[in-house]
Amino acid sequence: MADTERRGPLHSPDMEAETDGALLYYMSCSQSAGDVAMSNAAGIEFHRRHMQALYARCKRICDRMGEPELAQDLALITLKKAIDAHTQFVDSDGVPAANAARTRAWLGRIAHNLMVDKYRNPNRPGPLTGVQEEIPFADFSAEEFAALHCDGKRLPRDLETIRLAAEALDMLEPRTRLVVMNTTLQRQRSPRGSYQYRGSAAAFAAKLGTTPVNVRRLYGVGVRSIAAYVEAHREGSAYG
């Protein structure tokens, strides 16, 4: 959040004329390969309009409840919840300032309700609670993990790369492999699958008997190892 506040968010000119409701809908389409660019552009514009205000609102909520360290997670989880609930949002026909106030009030209610639910149901698995939902590793093959990892950013999403990434995953040291698998699945729960909530990261680190910093280090080691293996075995590719 601090970087955004210092530099200001990027603009997405193609989306500046879209309503907030349309942006939320486009952001919900991120799982469709053909809509990723549109979804990312919508996300940039929505962040430009509202993320600083949402973070400030979440910080006030968390400060009031004595858990200021949860502000960033709350803002990110609120955004994810808003994207999932985009069909419930109705744009207003007012002036831009009134439209922004309406959207931010809706986001604020979601954030408030998430924190209230955290205290009402402290044992319910979730990124804001002390109880973390178990990752169903047994339900996923190495190929399925590799398909999630090969997202077109880290590695290209084609069958050959996925096959090689699955081979590389199986060759990782067990602890590193577990970190890569856990982080890959946890990231699927965030908007556009781009980050892991701090609460989930801290709980996983505690379960391993280490620190979040070391978990991030192991994840980096695993990701680089997979990329190096793919690069070494993929014919005619310089993609690392």
- Whole-angstrom distance, CA of residue 169 vs CA of residue 179: 11
pLDDT at residue 46, rounded to an integer: 94
For 156, list phi and psi in degrees, rounded to 5: -65, 150
CB atoms within 10 A of CB 19: 14
- Whole-angstrom distance, CA of residue 40 vs CA of residue 50: 15
pLDDT at residue 159, rounded to an integer: 86
On whether the CB atoms of residues 231 and 240 are closer than 8 A, the answer is: yes
- Whole-angstrom distance, CA of residue 74 vs CA of residue 59: 8
Instruction: Determine the residue type at 31.
Output: Q
Q: Which residues contact 23 (CB under 8 A, 6 or more apart)?
A: 15, 42, 43, 45, 46, 49
Q: Which helix (H) or strand (E) holds 71?
A: helix 71-84
Tell me which residues of the chain have a pLDDT lower than 70.
Answer: 1-13, 121-127, 129-139, 188-199, 236-240
On whether the CB atoms of residues 181 and 187 are closer than 8 A, the answer is: no
pLDDT at residue 221, rounded to an integer: 95
* 58, burial (CB in 10 Å: exposed 0-12, middle 13-18, buried 19+): buried
pLDDT at residue 4, rounded to an integer: 36
pLDDT at residue 147, rounded to an integer: 82
Interval 108-155: pLDDT, tens: 999 998 888 887 766 566 667 655 555 565 667 778 778 878 877 778
